Amino acid sequence: MITVSDSTPLIHFGTIKRLDLLRSMYGQVVITKAVHREVVTEGIALGKTDAFLVEKAIGDWIEVANPEGDAGEFCSQHGIHIGEAESILIARELNVNLLLINERDGRRTAKNAGVKVRDNWRDFRLHRETYFDGRGSGRDIGHF
């Protein structure tokens, strides 16, 4: 199964050092250059652990690809960020099984574009014990 991911799911799984769960649930993951820049390039500059983990997975089970469509125009038309726009466009162009995207406007735009979406908050709720190994709620890591 091929899945496209926007930035937030990668950051969430990476922050709790459980990108392996993302891989086991979704297999191959495609991200765009804008998502790579936001998660990896900017994250490494800030010293974020999740950025280094995502960078390590690139070329293994995470692939970076760019959409052929004009993401800038798509942003303007739908009022979403560039990473979301690129993710929606590449998901549509590759006809992938699923797009992981948390932002409400991005999810709505993707659905309207005919892309199946999933908010990874659902994955956290379904598998809370697996993610946290009994270490407490997501609030303990500052993102939930």
**Residue-wise pLDDT tens digits, 95-126:** 998 999 988 899 999 999 999 998 766 665 55
**Residue-wise pLDDT tens digits, 1-30:** 789 999 989 998 898 888 998 898 889 999
Model's pTM, two decimal places?
A: 0.83
**Residue-wise pLDDT tens digits, 31-59:** 999 999 999 999 999 999 999 999 999 99
Provide the β-strand partners of residue 5. 100
Say yes or no to pLDDT of 93 above 60: yes
Which of 54, 46, 47 lies closest to 7, judged by CA?
54
Cα radius of gyration rounded to whole Å, the chain? 15
Q: Between 3.50.50.60, 3.40.50.1010, 3.40.50.300, 3.90.1150.10, what CATH number should domain 2-137 receive?
A: 3.40.50.1010
Say yes or no to pLDDT of 143 above 50: no
pLDDT at residue 42, as a whole number: 97
Which of 16, 28, 25, 17 lies closest to 59, judged by CA?
28
pLDDT at residue 137, as a whole number: 46
**Residue-wise pLDDT tens digits, 53-70:** 999 999 999 999 999 989
Average pLDDT over residues 72-93: 93
Q: Are 21 and 118 in contact (CB under 8 A)?
A: no
